């Protein structure tokens, strides 16, 4: 079950207090539909709201910051990691804190790269404009000995090809999504909540039926999404797309 909040998007430019309020309301919507685990898949919400969500919610809560940090620490050999994300994610310092809890002697370069989000939303995944922005944001990282770039935003893996070309083969890209999925499975198994089998159904709810949501979502999934339902936070679903 997925709940997206395009009516109040983007979170990455909002204050921490606002992000926390929105995230708590979003989680409440999911709880009202009987979920057994909440994955905070937005890096800005994970960076700002995870402690408050963990305190309030009666189900396990998993963010993307810790899994991403683990993957980056495993990947680096030079002990120099760069982290890119929205202004809110980078401003929170959450990734630096998570990485240093795992490995104290790592050098971290954290850079806000907010223009990557609208480029991904627009579908400009690999053209001259995207490459120019990537060169502006990522210039010099490989020269500084960085060998690992942690993609601290859900949108950024869509731009991985152009980032990899700009950075060259010496810098590996780390996407926290796979590590987060493994962590979710381990958490559910450890608490006896893992579904042993049966058909899987996907349900997509949005606070606003953004025109490009299905297009962007199918780029991520690599398959048709099916039904998408508009739903206001705290209310029953209203209409289908």
pLDDT in tens, 2-32: 999 988 988 888 999 999 999 999 999 999 9
Buried b / exposed e along 147-175 (16+ C-beta atoms within 10 A): bbbbbbbbbbbbbeebbeebbeeebbbbb
Counted domains in the chain? 2
pLDDT in tens, 87-110: 988 999 999 999 999 999 999 999
- Arithmetic mean of pLDDT, 34-53: 93
How is residue 49 written in tokens? 């709201």
**Does one domain contain both 157 and 186?**
no
Q: Which positions ≥6 away from 115 have C-beta within 8 Å?
A: 133, 137
Domain span at 103: 66-175
CATH number at residue 45: 3.40.50.1860
CB 208 within 8 A of CB 6: yes
**Does one domain contain both 74 and 36?**
no
Boundary of a domain, candidates 175, 198, 230: 175
**Does one domain contain both 73 and 133?**
yes
**Does one domain contain both 97 and 160?**
yes
Place of tokens 């969500």: 53
What confidence tier does 240 reach under pLDDT thresholds 50, 70, 90? very low
- Which pLDDT belongs to residue 109? 96
Q: Which positions ≥6 away from 28 have C-beta within 8 Å?
A: 233, 234
184, burial (CB in 10 Å: exposed 0-12, middle 13-18, buried 19+): middle
Q: What is the pTM of this model?
A: 0.83
**Does one domain contain both 46 and 122?**
no
Q: What residues are labeled active site?
A: 42, 153
Q: How large a percentage of the chain has pLDDT more than 90?
A: 66
**Does one domain contain both 105 and 169?**
yes
**Does one domain contain both 121 and 185?**
no
**Does one domain contain both 58 and 115?**
no
- Which pLDDT belongs to residue 234? 56
CB 231 within 8 A of CB 224: no
């Amino acid at each position: 079950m997925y709940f997206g909040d395009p009516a109040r998007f983007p979170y990455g430019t909002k204050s921490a207090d606002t992000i926390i309020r929105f995230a708590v309301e979003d989680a409440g919507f999911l709880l009202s539909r009987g979920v057994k685990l909440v994955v905070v898949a937005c890096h800005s919400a994970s960076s700002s709201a995870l402690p408050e969500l963990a305190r309030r919610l009666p189900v396990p809560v998993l963010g993307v910051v810790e899994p991403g940090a683990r993957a980056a620490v495993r990947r680096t050999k030079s002990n120099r990691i760069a982290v890119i994300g929205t202004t809110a994610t980078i401003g929170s310092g959450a990734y630096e804190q998570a990485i240093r809890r795992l490995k104290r002697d790592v050098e971290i370069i954290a850079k806000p790269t907010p223009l990557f989000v609208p480029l991904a939303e627009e579908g400009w995944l690999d053209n001259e404009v995207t490459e120019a922005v990537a060169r502006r944001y990522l210039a010099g990282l490989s020269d500084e000995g960085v060998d690992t770039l942690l993609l601290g935003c859900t949108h950024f893996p869509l731009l991985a090809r152009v980032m990899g070309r700009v950075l060259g083969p010496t810098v590996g890209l780390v996407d926290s999504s796979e590590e987060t999925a493994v962590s979710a499975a381990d958490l559910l198994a450890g608490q006896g909540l893992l579904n042993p089998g049966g058909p899987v159904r996907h349900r997509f709810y949005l606070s606003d039926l953004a025109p490009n949501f299905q297009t962007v979502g199918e780029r991520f999934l690599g398959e048709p999404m099916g039904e998408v339902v508009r739903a206001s936070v705290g209310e029953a679903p209203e209409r289908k797309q």
